[in-house]
Amino acid sequence: MTTRATRGPRRRTVVALAVILSVLVAFVVRLVDIQVVSADEHVSQSLEHIGAGSAIPGQRGSIVDSGGTVLASSVMVYDAQLSPQVIMLVEEKNPKLPWAEASDKIAAITGQTGEEVRALVSNALAENPNSQYAPLKKGLNTEQYIALRDLGIGSYLSLKPRETRVYPNGAVAGNILGFLDNTGEAKAGVEQLEETCLAPVDGEETYRKGKDGVVIPGSEKVVDAVDGGTVQLTINSDLQWYLQQMIGEEAQKQGAKGGTVTVVEVATGKIRAAAEWPAMDPNDLDSSTPETRYSQIFHRDFEPGSTFKAITAAAAIEGAGLTPLSTVTASSRETFPNGAVINDAFSHPAYNYTLAGGLIDSSNVALSKFGTMVSPEVRYDYLQRFGVGQKTLDFPSEVSGLLHPVSDWDSQSLYTTTFGQFFTVTAPQLAGAYQAIANGGEKIDLSLVESCTGADGTVSEVKKPEHEQIVAPQTAADLTRMLENVAVQGGNADRIQVPGYRVTSKTGTAQVSDGNGGYKAGVYYTSMVGFAPVDDPQYVVVVTLDEPTKVVSSAATASAFQKAMTQVMKTYRVMPSSVPMDALLPKFG
């Protein structure tokens, strides 16, 4: 029997349990609502950002030469800035390192004077008493960063890191390497050509934050950055350096606006040097002009002149069955049946020129007669075979040259195209044409890049160059023999000989456009091309001078050509010629 004394506590217990149960049921219902029914809504309300975070920058890859010498790389530098207001607040507390002393220590590290550093702060405060910013010095290296950090003045000295591009060899191959603009975008040269290899892939650090801004534990995710790859070039930086110094001296000696030297390996088509003057230092763009920031070797085209008489000879040998001893009668000035008037560079009576003699004396009249023994269509085909009108590498800013269709050839250009006028080429195209002659008639596409090595060490070889037999081996042999006779019997023979080596050569003197459809009077773009050794061709050398004034003919390039070829033979330790030259070819029949 329940007494009154026991009924009171039991009732209170039941009521308490009921209340607790009700509360628990309410909590469960609310929990189900939060985690199941309205989960998406509540998650979105509770989070300020989903996937918030920051980028992790990767480092741009390096560019190295054929031997691994670094030509371009990215390094971390630091931009230092001061907080003038904080400096004044610190000074009020009598710091261990007073501002007068700290400013001197800062200056000793940054290469400034204490007065200069103090003036930066005082000037900033004069403009704004609450100034929080005064730029100190940009581009400090790691050693300077550590020295400044160790001063213990981080309360008012800020060091912000940034990546910058450096070119350890300065202007060496600068025009070929190219440069980056202020935003880090590649604007020219290999930097732009190989952007896919060099560019890094930025990583990312992501996380979730609540409304209070606190990162939610366990929500952090990090995707590491992938650094850019290393581009290896075919360029030999030591040879490049020498040739840049040399062509700069020769161009200035001849009073020229500029000059270039291009070296191509015969057996591979690899460009071993692409030197030019004026040269651009990518470390100091402000010291160059917009025109000199790009490679003139690839950007400038010109009429090749007599250097392409060898290609006319190739067309005549294969298209008309001529030999080096085939003859035509040619005076120094002749009027052709269609009314065209052709002149030679020197006055002479009617000579019974051999094909070899026409090349040796560089007779425009003789080559006009030899060349027109085949149809214009055949000659056009041979110009295309030898690379006229086609880019060599698709290098940034590279021009393709100009090759007019036969339908545009008039009575004069029908003949001038036989001696290198009415079409234009670049120095690499000229080098490629002679590479084919030196290589037994097999033309190999030129190349400038060896490989791309990724940050993980994976090496990606570049696309293999195309090979094409564009003339018969015997034709190439005949051309080689005639070009050697040009080097031995021509007007520049004494100035271009390389002791111990048999050399070929051919000069070119091109008129310069005045921009209005005509030519500048008395102004020329001169060139010389050849290869060595004749008995085992290894390297092609092309030298150009832009509007030389001391000597205006192609003889202006003779000294530079001889020096360039000599240095190439030394650099690659090419064995001297061991087979004597064949008997001299006669100039006249």
pLDDT tens digits for 53-111? 667 778 999 999 999 999 999 998 999 999 999 999 999 999 999 999 999 999 999 99
Residue 431's φ and ψ, nearest 5 degrees, are -65, -40
pLDDT of 32: 64
Which burial class, exposed, middle or buried, applies to 253 when counting CB atoms under 10 A from its CB (0-12, 13-18, 19+)? Answer: middle
Q: How many CB atoms lie within 10 A of CB 516?
A: 6
**Cβ-Cβ contacts under 8 Å for 174 (sequence gap 6 or more):** 167, 279, 280, 281, 282
Residue 35: φ, ψ to 5°: -90, -15
Q: Which residues pair with 341 in a beta bridge?
A: 335
What is the pLDDT at residue 49?
A: 47
Q: So what's the pLDDT on residue 225? A: 82
Quick one: pLDDT at residue 294?
Answer: 92
> What is the C-alpha separation between 312 and 301, in angstroms, rounded?
20
How many CB atoms are located within 10 Å of the residue 39 CB? 12
In angstroms, what CA-CA distances link 213 with 46, 71, 392? 11, 46, 57
- Residues whose CB is less than 8 angstroms from the CB of residue 314 and which lie 6 or more positions away in sequence, other chains included: 382, 386, 437, 471, 475, 479
Beta-strand ranges (E) seen in 211-303 are 221-223, 230-233, 258-265, 271-277
Q: Which residues, other chains included, contact 104 with Cβ-Cβ below 8 Å and sequence gap of 6+?
A: 114, 117
Task: Provide the pairing of β-strand 258-265 with 539-546.
Answer: antiparallel
Buried b (16+ CB within 10 A) or exposed e, 490-501: bbbbeebbbeeb
Nearest to 148 by CA among 99, 95, 106: 106
Tokens of 146: 């550590």
Question: Which residue's structure tokens are 């490049």?
Answer: 240
Quick one: angle between helices 427-438 and 473-489, nearest 10? Answer: 110
- 8 Å CB contact between 100 and 122: no
Q: Please name which of 164, 195, 220 lies closest in space to residue 63, comparing C-alpha atoms.
A: 195
Res 517: pLDDT: 79
Structure-block tokens of residue 199:
């560019």
Decide: helix, strand or coil at residue 31. Answer: helix
Is-contact 585 354, C-beta < 8 A? yes
SS3 of residue 539 by DSSP = strand
What is the spatial distance between Cα 447 and Cα 158, in angstroms, rounded to a whole number? Answer: 46
> Maximum CA pair distance of the chain?
154
Q: What CA–CA distance (Å, rounded) separates 577 from 62?
A: 39
Indicate the DSSP class of residue 21. Answer: H
Q: What is the pLDDT of residues 343-366, one digit of tens each?
A: 999 999 999 999 999 999 999 999
Question: Exposure string (b/e) for 255-279, b if CB count within 10 Å is 16 or more?
Answer: ebbbbbbbbbbbeebbbbbbbbbbb
Q: What is the pTM of this model?
A: 0.84
The residues pairing with 452 across neighbouring beta strands, listed in sequence order, are 231, 460
pLDDT of residue 186: 95
Give residue-wise pLDDT tens across range 271-314: 999 999 999 999 999 999 988 899 999 999 999 999 999 999 99
* Residues in contact with 26: Cβ distance below 8 Å, sequence separation at least 6, in sequence order: none
Distance of alpha carbon 114 from alpha carbon 104, whole angstroms: 4
Q: Which residues on adjacent β-strands are paired with residue 55? A: 204
Task: Compute CA 512 distance to the chain's CA centroid, rounded to the nearest angstrom.
Answer: 26
DSSP state of 36: I
Element (H, E) at 242: helix 237-253
What does each of the 589 residues of the chain score in pLDDT, given as a tens digit? 455 555 566 777 766 676 677 767 766 667 666 566 665 555 555 444 455 666 777 899 999 999 999 999 999 899 999 999 999 999 999 999 999 999 999 999 999 999 999 999 999 999 999 999 999 999 999 899 999 999 999 999 999 988 899 999 999 999 999 999 988 899 999 999 999 999 998 888 777 766 655 667 777 787 888 899 999 999 999 999 999 999 999 999 999 999 999 999 999 999 999 999 999 999 999 999 988 899 999 999 999 999 999 999 999 999 999 999 999 999 999 999 999 999 999 999 999 999 999 999 999 999 999 999 999 999 999 999 999 999 999 999 999 999 999 999 999 999 999 999 999 999 999 999 999 999 999 999 999 999 999 989 999 878 899 999 999 999 999 999 999 999 999 999 999 999 999 999 999 998 888 888 788 898 999 999 999 999 999 999 999 999 999 999 989 999 999 999 999 999 999 999 999 999 999 999 9
Please classify residue 4 by burial: count the beta carbons closer than 10 Å to its beta carbon, then call 0-12 exposed, 13-18 middle and 19+ buried.
Answer: exposed
What pLDDT, on a 0 to 100 scale, did the predictor assign at position 145? 93
Distances (CA, A) of 358 to 167, 313, 436, 506, 589: 48, 10, 21, 12, 11
> Which among 449, 411, 587, 574 is positioned nearest to 500, based on CA atoms?
574
